Amino acid sequence: TICRCVRSFRTFHCKDCGRCVERLDHHCPWVNNCIGLRNQRLFFCWLVALFCSLLFAIARCSRLIADVARGSNASPLRAAASRAPLACLVCADAALAIFVGSLLVRQTVYVLANLTTFEVVLCPAYVESRFPQRDHRLWYFSGSTVPRFASRCRGFWLRSGSADLEDFGVAPDEVIADRSPGAAP
């Protein structure tokens, strides 16, 4: 399904939402919405808050387990039974923290590279022309420098299109023809 609307550079159609999204990163099932230019910063902050909350829960539950172990005069079986639910909670939180942490790292890497998840997976023609050799694991960092990383971060947080102009040679509000997957750029 295509919207039949004029789209600017780096705008893609989301099949889940049925609409075009500027700088589409992905469709997130957790928030049941597309993550794009208008809400990607909020999504990033949400990931940071979620990750910190999980780390706090792990630390607090671990502390409670240690407190129960120190102050327990009960039989070893009874003490273990009182710690088991907390230990399960710590394990579940640790698994979630690893998952959310990996999402946070991936989002940070893509911000530094001025790419979106959708662009890395789909690899449209303008990404192929910017990165002609994608044969190594961190291909999206080729040719990057610390000042470029800083410029891309500034562009992300200020929603500036200057990084797009520098990285892709196209102004962010430049209108382009139909760029649906499979269509010519």
Looking at residue 168, its pLDDT comes to: 80
Quick one: pLDDT at residue 92? 95
| DSSP code of residue 34 | E
Between CA 148 and CA 182, with CA 23 as vertex, the angle to 5 degrees is 110
- Residues forming the active site: 28
Low-confidence ranges of the chain (pLDDT < 70): 1-3, 71-82, 171-185
At residue 178, the pLDDT reads 45
pLDDT score recorded for residue 105: 95
State the Cα torsion 114-119-120-123 to the nearest 10°: -120
Distance CA(57)–CA(38), nearest Å, equals 30
Task: Give the residue among 140, 91, 149 at the shortest CA–CA distance from 115.
Answer: 140
Adjacent-strand bridge partners of 4: none
DSSP-assigned letters across all residues of 106-146: HHHHHHHHT--HHHHHH--HHHHHH-S---STTGGGTT--H
Predicted pLDDT of residue 35? 95
Alpha carbons 3 and 42: distance in angstroms, whole number: 26
- Whether 33 and 14 have beta carbons less than 8 Å apart is answered as no
pLDDT given at position 46: 95
Interhelix angle for 40-71 vs 146-158, to 10°?
100
- Element (DSSP H or E) covering residue 35: strand 33-35
Q: Quote the pTM value.
A: 0.81
Contacts of 182 by beta carbon, 8 Å cutoff, 6+ apart? none
What is the chain's mean pLDDT, rounded? 82
